[in-house]
Structure 1
Amino acid sequence: MALPRKGSRLITVDDTVYRWSIRPRPTYSQGLVWWSLTFAVEIADSPRQVLSVRTSLPRLDNWLGLRSKPVTPRMVERTIRAALAAGWKPQTPGRTFVFDLQD
């Protein structure tokens, strides 16, 4: 399943263009900080396997007002490199690759 173009951002890592996005609104569990912030990444031109990244951070718009940090392009770049090293194959069709980001 491809990420929607609206609300997503492009990033180039090692001459490959990726699309990444964060869900526009928190889920109920993310709003109450039962679950942490997640974001998704895929190759921009021909998406195959999506990378789902779980962070240890609460969302910035959580309903409890807990402090957090934003997801930055630098964080996304480092995460893409780490996920590739961990076995993510973005050009190969397959199930979503779940990656736990350790902050």
Structure 2
Amino acid sequence: MSEQFGYGTRFYKTVSDDLKSILPDVKSFSPTNLKYMRYFYEMYPDAVICPQVEDELITDANRPQVGDDLQIIFRIPWGHNKIILDKCKGNSAKALFYIRRSI
């Protein structure tokens, strides 16, 4: 997972510093963790998280349906997801196999 999108060498460091200054109590915004967040998004682009505020406004008929595969992604700890991202290098079918084995 190279820097294929042309992010500069200081991109993640700059974003990390900005987020840490805005959200000083949140400890999850290291440059490395931000890269893993991007890898996670790229691995599972169809993951849908329904906004909680709008939950009351969405009826069951038009509520987004998250497939079983997408639900299990969020059932394992972030550290496990990072290891799976490293091992699977963009192969979401392989990643889901390992996630199922982890649960």
Sort the TM-score into its range (normalised by shorter chain): under 0.3
TM-score by length of 2: 0.25
Structure with a larger share of its residues in helix: 2
Structure with a larger share of its residues in strand: 1
TM-score by length of 1: 0.25
